[in-house]
């Protein structure tokens, strides 16, 4: 299923409120936030199973990448605002 089909309602709402470019970026932020939450939940599960105090390196890298992508999208949203 396409992202446009799966998130059609959210895209329509955000594009109406913010315009097509910023609306798509806002939905992208939501999707990345959901992925960040899932990665964090998985990391917490792995931590509990291994009894370590740090998240595994792969989870830390995933979280870092998602946070960086969100930062870039937020910057693009701010640029598109003006």
Token pair 């939940």 is at which residue? 41
15 neighbors 39 (Cβ within 8 angstroms): no
Alpha carbons 78 and 37: distance in angstroms, whole number:
24
pTM attached to this predicted model = 0.83
Is the pLDDT at 64 greater than 90, yes or no?
yes
Query: What are the pLDDT digits (tens) for 66-77?
Result: 999 999 999 999
Give the domain ranges of the chain.
Answer: 3-81
CA dihedral sign, ordered 62, 63, 68, 74: positive
Q: How close are the terminal C-alpha atoms of the chain, in Å? A: 34
**Residue-level length of the chain:** 82
Query: What are the pLDDT digits (tens) for 16-40?
Result: 999 999 999 999 999 999 999 999 8
């Amino acid at each position: 299923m396409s992202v446009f089909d799966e998130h059609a309602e959210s895209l329509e709402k955000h594009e109406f409120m913010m315009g097509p470019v910023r609306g798509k970026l806002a939905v992208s932020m939501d999707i990345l936030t959901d992925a960040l939450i899932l990665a964090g939940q998985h990391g917490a599960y792995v931590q509990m199973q291994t009894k370590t105090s740090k998240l595994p390196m792969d989870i830390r890298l995933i979280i870092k990448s998602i946070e960086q992508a969100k930062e870039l999208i937020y910057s693009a949203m701010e640029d598109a605002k003006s």
